[in-house]
Structure 1
């Protein structure tokens, strides 16, 4: 008994993993059939398709494809018909069904899933970065950050860093304390990457007092002393002016509101470069 064989060309405008998986699942249903699968990724124009079709015709291969661009799908079907090749459109029918069901047009954007994956992993990387370089743990992070937040304790540096991380930005933050010199790295980067945060002394006094209570400490500690807070804020403002960075008064602002201001500052900076 002769062994039957088949050749499948998997053609995609992305990696072609989906079509290859479907092809292997289908081939597994035919015991004793030797199936060779060739994946051809990132097909984006008719010239590339034409080269593939010529090779496929010599092997009478089945063409399994995931092409989101309509003109490429139509071109492939037309040329396959001329050469007597069988085709299987993996995405086309479902895209058409979804369009009919929703009444909306597809974007026809190649590789969109992997673009979304890239966005997801960028966010994960940014969150890990924010955790690693939170509260001045390692000042070297300043050199690799997209944005550096500076300010005295309890000016929302950490929650802002995490919020910006979920926007895909690598944020480091450095606390400013009169008794501790800021890291040298802070003065070696562009001032456009640094954002100073401040809060009115009275509010900061309330916030720190509540913080001490949650820690089971007395509200009379120097940390919550109003005179101490005013000295800290004055010191921090001096550092910010020395750097020449924008300063945001976060008093009464939600994290989202302050983050929006930061993003606007950063966006304008990129646009003006």
Structure 2
């Protein structure tokens, strides 16, 4: 009876990288019919010894991604003593990096997983900002790390997206005199909310440009000075009722305003 082909994957992290490489290679032989037994988060020689004994018993191959030098040396030594093939999947490329770029590796397991987690947190925050943009669903207010409120054209959406790239879940709510603010706005801690205001002259200029871009006349009520004053007055009353910090965005780039928001929140939440 033909002996089962087994590859033991050993990693001081999750081991996904090693398993994917083994699978890629296995597809070149016998249609990939190889049993892979993954051993994740190996952090002492006893774990390695267990795999060595199993691999010897089954005359199996070992593939590993271990960055902790002491564990790697032990595995190489024991594999040689037991006449086992143990393939190091990382060191050749790590050595090439060191030689070419004149840098030393951190020898710290789990860094790839950390990068992946950071990436997925950012994607989640971006999706959150899109879902809860412009007050579409007030339930997002209760889930958000930051809630931005202000009249139209105070950069709420660009700020939400910018902060999302820094992994903050941001909801934004437009303040319009004819539309009562959502109840959820008054249920969150004041330190989670930021009010955005702007000078009437600057808002008038921005709104006129917006109307022009839409092919509409600049005399529309949306850009009228009295309408703007009414909206700003209404917005400030809501912000005072919420009790949130207020930032004036006039003549500020999105990056500058975002920095101010984070500074204010840091100060508020440290009190």
Counterpart mapping for 1:136-155 below 5 A: 136-155=135-154
Counterpart mapping for 1:45-56 below 5 A: 45-56=44-55
Check whether the contact 2:5–2:35 (CA below 8 A) recurs between aligned residues: yes
Deviations 1:126-179 (A, max 9, x none): 222212111111111111111110001110001111111122221110011122
Specify the alignment match of 1:173 in structure 2. 172
Specify the alignment match of 1:19 in structure 2. 18
Q: Out of 65-74 and 95-104, give the one that drifted further.
A: 65-74
Query: Is the partner of 2:13 in helix, strand or coil?
Result: coil
Count residues with an aligned counterpart. Answer: 271
Specify the alignment match of 2:221 in structure 1. 222
Check whether the contact 1:3–1:34 (CA below 8 A) recurs between aligned residues: no
Query: Is the partner of 2:173 in helix, strand or coil?
Result: strand
Check whether the contact 1:13–1:110 (CA below 8 A) recurs between aligned residues: yes
Residue 158 to residue 33, structure 1, CA distance change in 2 (3 Å): closer
Counterpart mapping for 1:31-70 below 5 A: 35-70=34-69
Check whether the contact 1:4–1:33 (CA below 8 A) recurs between aligned residues: no
Check whether the contact 1:13–1:42 (CA below 8 A) recurs between aligned residues: yes
Provide runs of 4+ in structure 1 moved above 6 Å.
Answer: none
CA shift, 1:187, in A, is 0.6
Q: Whole-Å Cα distance in 1 between the matches of residues 29 and 227 of structure 2?
A: 79
Specify the alignment match of 2:99 in structure 1. 100
Query: Is the partner of 1:105 in helix, strand or coil?
Result: coil
Q: Whole-Å Cα distance in 2 between the matches of residues 8 and 100 of structure 1?
A: 31
Residue 175 to residue 49, structure 1, CA distance change in 2 (3 Å): same
Q: Whole-Å Cα distance in 1 between the matches of residues 81 and 210 of structure 2?
A: 76
Query: Is the partner of 2:63 in helix, strand or coil?
Result: strand
Show structure 1 runs of 5+ residues with no match. Answer: none
Q: Out of 88-97 and 62-71, give the one that drifted further.
A: 62-71
Residue 36 to residue 220, structure 1, CA distance change in 2 (3 Å): closer
Query: Is the partner of 1:167 in helix, strand or coil?
Result: coil
- Is 1:161 the counterpart of 2:160 in the alignment? yes
Deviations 1:2-43 (A, max 9, x none): 646543211112332332333344445555998543221222
Q: Out of 30-39 and 14-23, give the one that drifted further.
A: 30-39
Normalized against structure 2, the TM-score is what? Answer: 0.90
CA shift, 1:46, in A, is 3.1
Q: Out of 188-197 and 39-48, give the one that drifted further.
A: 39-48
Query: Is the partner of 2:227 in helix, strand or coil?
Result: helix
CA shift, 1:106, in A, is 1.3
Check whether the contact 1:5–1:34 (CA below 8 A) recurs between aligned residues: no
Deviations 1:39-82 (A, max 9, x none): 21222333322333333333343221011222221121223233
Q: Out of 237-246 and 190-199, give the one that drifted further.
A: 237-246
Show structure 2 runs of 5+ residues with no match. Answer: none
Check whether the contact 1:196–1:240 (CA below 8 A) recurs between aligned residues: yes
Specify the alignment match of 2:254 in structure 1. 255
